[in-house]
Amino acid sequence: MSLHCQALAQVLKQNRSITLIDLLENEICDAGAEALAEAVQENDTIHSIILFGNPCAGSQAFRRIHARCSSNYQAAVQAKAAAAVKAVVEDLKTDGAKREIDLQGRCIEDAQVQVLSEELKIKLSITHIDLSKNRIKDAGAEALAQVLKENRSITSIDLGENPIGQVGAQALAEAVQENDALLRLHLGPLTESDGREVGPWTEALERIEERCRANREAKAAGVEDG
């Protein structure tokens, strides 16, 4: 089986279309795993090599393979996230009638939010933004807070199911106090840096909801007066 792994390792050194290889329960020993481990260091497209149920499982070579494949996968995910945000930014520059941004569940992180935020500061047609179910943390929330201080066209932002902590929530709460257009900002639950949830409700979330509620009431009263 080591010879087979060495042949497969040669393939991995040359082929960049393979993303997954299933070698479950194939009696692969440490020597075979070592050949694969060396090959994957030169390959940036392989995302997973399944080696469970083999004698090499748990070996140093096994861990090296797992680490490299995991790194490749995360890099691919982030490349897709960056491409998604880039496409939205380009669309914003050319489509003056665009009203909504939907980037739910795209594995977007703070760096991509910061790129998007720069465009949102000057794009005044967007009313709804969905950034829920991503990887946005405090820095991304702070970037959006700056947007809310300058942009009065946005009425709704969904940031639910993102690992945003107290710092990010506080920045958003401060920004919302200066914004009389935002009607809804979904945020929570807040997350500590170690991944623990802060709780379902905090002072920052209360301040955000109170301000958004006041904005909704003021808008409703204006409609009635009109």
Domain that holds residue 216: 95-225
Same domain (yes/no): 114, 32: no
The whole-angstrom separation of Cα 186 and Cα 157 is: 6
Neighbouring CB atoms inside 10 A of 128's CB total 15
pLDDT tens across 134-177, in order?
Answer: 999 999 999 999 999 999 999 999 999 999 988 999 999 999 99
Tell whether 85 is covered by a domain: no
Partnered with residue 191 across adjacent β-strands are 197
- In a shared domain, residues 54 and 123: no
Which residues, in sequence order, are CB contacts of 60 under 8 Å at separation 6+? Answer: none
The mean pLDDT value of the chain amounts to 91
Looking at the 3D structure of the chain, how many domains does it have?
2
Instruction: Indicate whether 53 belongs to any domain.
Output: yes
Residue with tokens 């993303």: 19
Residue of 166, 175, 125 whose CA lies nearest to 146: 175
Residue 86 in domain: no
Q: Are residues 29 and 125 in the same domain?
A: no
SS3 of residue 164 by DSSP? coil
Does residue 1 have a pLDDT over 70? no
Look at residue 12 and tell me if it is in a domain: yes
Amino acid letter, 49: I
Query: Quick one: 61 and 102 in the same domain?
Result: no
Can you tell me whether residue 90 is helix, strand or coil?
A: helix
**Are 17 and 109 found together in one domain?**
no
Which residues contact residue 73 at a Cβ distance below 8 angstroms, ignoring those fewer than 6 apart? 47, 48
Rounded mean pLDDT of 204-224?
89
Q: Tell which residue, 100, 145, 152, has the closest CA to residue 122.
A: 152
Task: For residue 83, tell me if it sits in a domain.
Answer: no
Residue 107, pLDDT score? 96
User: pLDDT, tens digit, for every residue of 52-92?
Assistant: 999 999 999 999 999 999 999 999 999 999 999 999 999 99
146 part of a folded domain = yes
Closest CA to 155 of 101, 206, 118: 101
* pLDDT band, very low/low/confident/very high, at 191 (cuts 50, 70, 90): low
Q: Which amino acid makes up residue 15? A: N
